[in-house]
Every structure is written in structure tokens, then in C-alpha cells.
Amino acid sequence: MATRFVSSFCFVILLCSAAAEALEGGFSVELIHRDSHKSPFYDPSETPFQRAGKAARRSIARVRGLRTNDEGEPSADISRIDADYLINITIGTPPMSIVAIADTGSDLIWTQCPPCQNCFPQVAPWFNPRASSTYAQVDCNSDKCHVFDLTFCSRQGSTCQYSTSYGDRSYTVGNISTDIIGLSTLTGSAVTFPGMVFGCGFNNDGLYGIHTSGVVGLSPGNASLVSQIGGNEGTHFAYCLVPFFSTSKYTSKLTFGSDALLTGPGIVTTPMIIKSKRLYYHITLEGISINGKRFEVSGSSGQGAVTGNMIIDSGTTLTWLPSDFYRQIEPAVSAAIDLPRPKDPIEGYNLCYTSSGVLKGAPSITVHFTGADVVLNWYNAFFQVEENITCFSFVPTDDQPMYGNLAQMDFMISYDLTLGTLSFKPYDCAN
């Protein structure tokens, strides 16, 4: 397998021209939906509807783990960790494979390491720092110790340690370390990044699952994979999410570098806001049109949408709208669909219909972000949660609004951290 090396540690998002040149446009890796056939969590005995129901319940729990503070930022330390996508990485020399949760709502990369004082059960072996010739612990006086906010010096000496918790009370504690982190690209080559900062967790517990070994943070925070890659690769990335009900052999993909920049017709672009905690990518929802009738979002003063009022999150299934705004659009959606209304099968849904397959009468829906009108496919807004029940995947919340991954499927979504923009392009992600 061919291997390409890039420059060592790129602090925050400093441009690393050597990395940009070495990767010649960038690279793409797999994003594996945790309910897809490539996931270690995949259960062939489950029906597609059972998997859809599980995804919806994860989304409900994820959003309920967040509360907003007076500045409009989530007040949980980090989002819930039972996110929808997994990523394969390697750590160390020789490289050891790690299956990690890919989380756009956190920044630290970490995995379980011995000696584990308290670790959650995992199927795969732990990463053993002593077995890696390139592993190093970070001194608490080092600049690298401060790439992550929640660090401190160990009681025994000068080792840099970290402690962080997630919105569902999952947590991890360990040593801040450096080593080579590798990613297997869709072309079959391996891209490796020497000197990457990550957490070697020795005290970890929560809802991680036995088939994972840690988390790869993809937020704009300083310790995330995106920020540490740096250069063109770290300031431009995109993903294309395959509908999880698709029977295609292809999986979703995550692209870094200039290859992540969109070209051609059909692209719409909106400003992306990164707030002080640097944990989330915020965008501004201005309104939604149902069958051509536009409904406007208003702020607390009724003067229009608040800038950065919504998080775009690949880790949650449903799209969560402010309750007062949702109450505007629900009657329009309901009026468009003349089908029986069964009892909602999952707490949190308001609109469900007796239907399977393509939803008859599904209205046209356009989501209006600042400067970007995103025209949805019917399955971006409705999905089947039981054999004969299809539900509207936009739901109300009094907490943090979030643009979920169902609404993002079959779009190439490009993040440009240099310009501070987010772009959408309709795309057949399964092909």
C-alpha cells in the first residue's frame, strides 16, 4: 500500500504548504453510517425500519443533551457522543487500526490506552503506546499541551493530561500524546500525519459502544482532525452522505483539500459562523418554503433570524427547528398530504402518515439559509420509521436548532474555513 507523508503538527489552522503540495489536491476517506452494512454495529436481523427508528432515537437523545446559554451557544461541554458516523484511522508505528466515532461537535481525537484504570468494553485490542516507536507523551509546558482547552499537569510530574465530558455524561480522561495518525483513502493509498496530538484515554466510560475505540473530532476546535491537518487539507473539507436506506455498495465519503471545493452549476453558498467555543459550525436559517409558500424565522425580538441560529451536524439524524417556527410550517405540511395519520411511533414526532415507499403528496420544501436556497428531495424531509409509517423528519425543539443528516443526504456539502462559507450541491452520493 502506497503511503504519503505530510508535514508534522500544524498548530490551530496555520497554513502548511508542504502538506498541501504533498497531497496534490487532497484525499477522500470513508464515512460509515453506524447502521449500514459496513458498520461493526450492523445487525442483519434488523429491518430497515428498526434501524431508522434507532437513528431517530439517537437524534432525539443527542439534541436533548444540549442546552443553550445566554450567548446562544450549547452549554453542554460537547455534544452527545452516540453520533451516526464512524471513521477508520490508524495510530502509531507499526500502525494500529482504530474504529472511531466521527463527531462534528467535538475537537479531541482520542482512543483507549492501557494501563486502563476504568475503560468501557471494546472488541478490538487497545492501542498500546509502548508498542509504537513514534509515540510520545506531551510535556505540560509544551505548546502542544494547550491545543486542547481542558488540560492540566499530572500529579506525578509534568505530563500533560486532559479531562472532558460529553452531553450524555460520557467522559474520557487521559494523557495528551503525539504519534502518527493515518487515514486509508478511497484510492487504496494511506495518508499519514506525523506528530498529531491525540488523547490516550485511561479512564473512559459512556455510550461509546463495544465496536468503537474512541472519537475523532471534526469540529473547528484546535485539537480536531480538521484543524491539525492544517493547510489546504484542513481548511477545506466536504462530505457526501449516502441515504442510509440505499442498497448501493458505496458508502459516504469525507474529502479534504482542494478536491473538497465545489464547481459547476447548482451550488449555493451561505456564511458559516464559528463561535467562541469553536465546537460547532453555525449557519443562519432565515426561512422554509412549503409548496412555494415561504415562512420566516424570527428572533426573540421578532426582528428576523438571529445570525448563526442553527448548527449543521452530521451526527444527528433529524432536523430540529425552533418550536415557534415549527408551529408555522406544520399546518402547511399537514395540508399538503392527504393520508391517514397513525399514532406517532417515536416520541418527538408530530407528523406521521400511513405510507411506505415514496410518500404520496409530499410537498416541495426549500430551506432558506442566508444567501443559499437548498431545494430538498422528498426523502430529505420524510423517512420510513416502521413498515407502513413515514414521518416528517423536521421536529420542534426549545433547545439548540440543528440541521440533521437526513436533510444533508445526496448533497455534496463543502466547508471552506478560509472564507468562512458552507456550500451545498445536489449530488448522487451513492454513485
User: Is position 82 annotated as part of the catalytic site?
Assistant: no
Q: What is the DSSP string of 152-165?
A: EE-TTSSBEEEEEE
Backbone φ and ψ of 103, nearest 5°: -130, 115
DSSP H or E segment with residue 220: none
Q: Quote the CA–CA distance of 270 and 73 in Å, as a whole number.
A: 20
Q: Quote the CA–CA distance of 240 and 413 in Å, as a whole number.
A: 6
Instruction: List beta partners, residue 199.
Output: 110, 176
Q: Quote the CA–CA distance of 336 and 362 in Å, as a whole number.
A: 7
Region of 428 on the Ramachandran plot (φ > 0 left; ψ -120 to 50 alpha; else beta): beta
Backbone φ and ψ of 343, nearest 5°: -65, 135
Q: Which amino acid is at 378?
A: W
Q: Which amino acid is at 262?
A: L
Q: What is the DSSP string of 387-401?
A: TTEEEESEEEESS--
Map residue 273 onto helix, strand or coil. Answer: strand
475523532: which residue's cell? 216
How do beta strands 214-217 and 402-403 pair?
unpaired
Region of 420 on the Ramachandran plot (φ > 0 left; ψ -120 to 50 alpha; else beta): left
Q: Quote the CA–CA distance of 338 and 98 in Å, as a whole number.
A: 48
User: Is position 398 annotated as part of the catalytic site?
Assistant: no
Backbone φ and ψ of 101, nearest 5°: -75, 125
**Which residue of the set 259, 313, 410, 416 is catalytic?**
313
**Which residue of the set 103, 168, 179, 416 is catalytic?**
103
Q: Quote the CA–CA distance of 142 and 271 in Å, as a whole number.
A: 35
Q: What is the DSSP string of 394-426?
A: EEEESS--EE-HHHHTTEEEEEETTTTEEEEEE
Cα dist. 372→1, 265, 286, 418 in Å? 41, 14, 10, 19
Q: Quote the CA–CA distance of 53 and 190 in Å, as a whole number.
A: 35
Map residue 361 onto helix, strand or coil. Answer: coil
Cα dist. 58→12, 207, 269, 317, 347 in Å? 31, 11, 29, 8, 12
Catalytic residues: 103, 313
